[in-house]
């Protein structure tokens, strides 16, 4: 069974066992506008929680994507290089950015569950 957690920077992390799938939320992609380029990390790279993990560029701006948890990049989404708009079309499905092997599952406790994230979005006005 997977669980999904969220950051205040609008990244999501979907956890299945020791692997976390990371991407940006629907709210984040809607704020960015049309995504035109995604720069992903190299497989094998070890990321610390809060470190820059990727860059997403849209017609409006470029934004960093931060690692919601520490871990090793075990896979990046090969579809995004040729079809970055997938992030707009299906951000929490086919538009995922990377998969990490989680280093410390306790870091997930600092992230919001879906109800807390929805409440957080309401505070953004």
Domain ranges of the chain: 3-104
- Convert the pLDDT of each residue in 50-107 to its tens digit: 999 999 999 998 999 999 999 999 999 999 999 999 999 999 999 999 999 999 999 9
Tell me the C-alpha distance between 74 and 99, whole Å. Answer: 6
Cα separation values, 4 from 23, 26, 58, 103, Å: 11, 14, 25, 17
Per residue in 111-122, pLDDT (tens digit) is: 999 999 999 999
User: Which structure tokens are listed for 110?
Assistant: 């600092």
CATH 2.60.40.1190 fits 3-104, yes or no: no
Query: Cβ–Cβ contacts within 10 Å for residue 47, how many?
Result: 22
Which of 47-51's residues contact partners 24+ apart within 8 Å by CB, and which partners? 47/71, 47/72, 47/73, 47/100, 49/107
């Amino acid at each position: 069974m997977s669980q999904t957690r969220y950051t205040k920077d609008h990244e999501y992390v979907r956890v299945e066992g020791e692997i976390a799938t990371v991407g940006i939320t629907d709210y984040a992609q809607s704020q960015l506008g049309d995504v035109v380029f995604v720069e992903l990390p190299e497989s094998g790279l070890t990321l610390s929680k809060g470190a820059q993990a990727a860059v997403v560029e849209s017609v409006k701006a470029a934004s960093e994507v931060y690692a919601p948890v520490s871990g090793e990049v075990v896979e990046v989404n090969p579809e995004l290089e040729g079809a970055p708009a997938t992030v707009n079309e299906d951000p929490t499905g086919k538009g995922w950015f990377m998969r990490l092997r989680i280093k410390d599952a306790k870091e997930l406790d600092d992230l919001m569950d879906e109800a807390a994230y929805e409440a957080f979005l309401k505070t953004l006005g």
